[in-house]
Structure formats: structure tokens, C-alpha cells
């Protein structure tokens, strides 16, 4: 474990609390927080697709929207997105578009991850912005709620 991964444990615990809220609401337990340059949480969210019927209701999108509202602008330069599951293509693309400086994620998503597993959207040299990636922070703790959720439910 590096000092860099240790630095994000508190933020990942906050994201895990968001993930638990998603699971309790019957949604896939993924949570995210956005940190400003000082490391303060300025946006938080969890998967909310079931309640809202919104296909873009992923934890990362919800958290980035909240952070943008706090900042009063769409640019999240200097910010870090901390999420319990490796972002999908939509969320990775949104992080690039928002100019997020760093993406920190927990569990790897071999079926839909777009930050190095299945695809690598954020490191594509053709894009004008490429966030730093810190992978597998508290990976086992982040995978546990997902494993439990899917072991008790049938995927639609």
C-alpha cells in the first residue's frame, strides 16, 4: 500500500457510506465523492437509477453534478473523483469532460470498467484531458457490497 492510496482511505469510506445508501434503496451499491483541491468533499452521490428512473443516475454523475453546483460551474479542475467501483464509459467520459484531475476507484469492473480494465477512456491520448488514476484503493471493501448485492438478486 502506498502513501497515495492511504491518503484516500477517508474519502473512500465516505464513498462506501454512499454505496450502502444505494444498496438500502434497492440500487446497485456504488458510491462516489468529489474532493476539492484541499481534500474537502464538495459532492457526494450514489447510484439512484431505480428511484429516479434516470439511466444516467450513476454515483459518479450524481456526485459530479453536486460538486458542480457547489462550485457554480461545470469545470471540476483540481478535483478528485473517488468512487467505489471503476467507472463505466459514461462516467469516465463525464469525468474527462468535467476536467477532473484524478480518479480514485476501489473495485475493478471487468465487465464494464473504462478506466483500465475493459476500456481505458481516461488515458486515451486522442483526448485533450487525461486524469491521473489511482486504482484499487480498498478494493476488497469496495467489492464486498457488490458481491453481496448480486448474490441475493437477479440482474435484470
> What are the tens digits of pLDDT across the range 78-130?
999 999 999 999 999 999 999 999 999 999 999 999 999 999 999 989 988 99
In this prediction the pTM is 0.94
* Structural domain boundaries, residue 37: 2-152
Rounded Cα gap, residues 88 and 94, in angstroms: 10
Instruction: State residue 34 phi and psi, 5-degree precision.
Output: -115, 130
- In this structure, what CATH number is given to the domain that contains residue 26? 3.40.140.10
Q: Is 46 marked as a binding-site residue?
A: no
Asked whether 75 and 64 are in contact (CB, 8 A), the reply is no
Pairing of strands 80-85, 31-35: antiparallel
Helix or strand run (H / E) with residue 12: helix 9-24
Rounded Cα gap, residues 2 and 134, in angstroms: 10
> What are the tens digits of pLDDT across the range 118-148?
999 999 899 889 999 999 999 999 999 999 9
Give how many domains the chain has, as a whole number: 1
Q: Is 88 marked as a binding-site residue?
A: yes
Q: Which residue has the cell 457510506?
A: 17
Q: Is 79 marked as a binding-site residue?
A: no
Rounded Cα gap, residues 33 and 42, in angstroms: 8
Q: How many CA atoms lie within 13 A of 8 on its CB side?
A: 30
Annotated catalytic residues are 60
Amino acid at each position: 500500500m502506498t502513501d497515495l492510496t492511504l491518503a484516500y482511505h477517508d474519502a473512500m469510506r465516505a464513498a462506501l457510506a454512499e454505496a450502502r445508501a444505494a444498496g438500502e434503496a434497492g440500487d446497485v451499491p456504488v458510491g462516489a465523492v468529489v474532493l476539492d483541491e484541499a481534500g474537502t468533499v464538495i459532492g457526494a452521490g450514489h447510484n439512484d437509477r431505480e428511484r429516479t428512473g434516470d439511466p444516467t443516475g450513476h454515483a459518479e454523475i450524481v456526485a459530479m453534478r453536486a460538486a458542480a453546483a457547489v462550485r457554480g460551474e461545470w469545470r471540476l479542475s483540481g478535483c478528485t473523483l473517488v468512487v467505489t467501483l471503476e467507472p463505466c464509459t459514461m462516467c469516465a467520459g463525464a469525468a474527462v469532460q468535467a476536467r477532473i484531475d484524478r480518479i480514485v476507484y476501489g473495485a475493478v469492473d471487468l465487465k464494464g470498467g473504462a478506466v483500465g480494465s475493459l476500456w481505458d477512456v481516461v488515458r486515451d491520448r486522442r483526448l485533450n484531458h487525461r486524469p491521473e488514476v489511482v486504482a484499487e484503493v480498498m478494493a476488497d471493501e469496495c467489492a464486498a457490497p457488490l458481491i453481496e448485492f448480486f448474490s441475493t438478486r437477479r440482474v435484470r
